[in-house]
Amino acid sequence: MPQPLPESARERMAARARRIALIRRRVIVATLATFALAWGVIAFDGSMGSTTTASTQAATTTSSSDGTTSSSSSDGTTSSASSSDNSKSSSSDDSTSSSSSSSAPVTTSQS
Amino acid sequence: MDPVHIFWITSRAAGLVALLASSAAVTLGLLMGGRFVTGRTAQLRVTHEALALATIAAIVIHAGALLGDSFLSPSLADVTIPFVSGYQRIWTTTGIVGGWVLVVLGLSYYVRARIGVARWRVLHRFTALGWLLGVVHGIFEGTDAGAAWFLIAVAAAALPPGALLAVRWSGAPASPAVQRS
């Protein structure tokens, strides 16, 4: 028959068990918080797959009076023929250009 | 957000958690094993064990969630057996091997008496190899590996254990006062 532990030893063991439980709980909370944070960041900022746009463009270009060439897209924005980047767009008041475009997003891969 | 991505996002988030938790666990293990820390070893050991279990859970979720992804739609063999998946075969295999090393060596702690403590200690050192394979898998196959937040998080987590591993493999003692006898 084992001797019962003295009160002080029991208290020490209980305190140790409480510390261990606290550490485990903290690790679980930290892990779950990290998972939730990572999930949120990926959902709202991460890549969900590369989507390429297959577009066909028919643009009629005209030369403006200063000799520059421009084209106008169907949505009213005017952009240079060689780039779709709006920051590089140019306008021409006397432009009579027009263009039509159609695009179809095609998901090619999940990355 | 498209619900079709839920499994995909869950797998990626769990992969990142596995990477961070394993990095922290390996860091603590190397700190204790190299005698870089004195005192509070009981608490550190409990934290090390909890982080290792968190890593295993995250690895299981990382692989398990992929099974629900309708785009890749991998089989169980694809995510558990090396060289079966045709998707980025080398890096997928790296992750699978690293995952198995971490899971098996992590759980071997609970049967160390049967294995033999001395033998288990030798085996346990290979956990660092599993962690290293996981880092390589994350960097070379991870979808978010091109994102700054991912690289910063992985670098912050992986540099400390990387440095500690370098110290251990170089054979430099942690401190003359606390060297192993």
Give chain A's contact residues with B (Cβ, < 8 Å). 16, 19-20, 23-24, 27-28, 31, 34-35, 38-39, 41-49, 110-111
Q: What is the per-residue pLDDT across B109-118, written as a single tens digit (0 to 9) for each?
A: 999 999 999 9
Domain of B78, in residue numbers: 3-178
- Closest-CA residue of A relative to B3 is A43
User: By three-state DSSP, how is residue A108 classified?
Assistant: strand
Q: What is the per-residue pLDDT across A55-89, written as a single tens digit (0 to 9) for each?
A: 444 444 444 444 444 444 434 333 333 333 333 33
Does B149 sit within 8 Å of A41, measured CB to CB?
A: yes
Largest CA distance in chain A: 108
Specify the DSSP class assigned to residue B108: G
Q: What percent of chain B has pLDDT over 70?
A: 93
For the whole model, what pTM was predicted?
0.73
Give chain B's domain count. 1
Residues of A in contact with B2 (CB under 8 A): 48
Q: Show me where the domains of chain A are located.
A: 1-45
Largest CA distance in chain B: 59
Q: What is the per-residue pLDDT across A1-37, written as a single tens digit (0 to 9) for each?
A: 667 778 888 899 999 899 999 999 999 999 999 999 9
Does B144 sit within 8 Å of A43, measured CB to CB?
A: no
Rounded CA-CA distance B100/B18 in Å is 13
Question: Interface pTM (ipTM) of the complex?
Answer: 0.88
Q: What is the per-residue pLDDT across B119-162, written as a single tens digit (0 to 9) for each?
A: 999 999 999 999 999 999 999 998 888 888 899 999 999 999 99
Of A28, A34, A111, the CB nearest to B143: A111
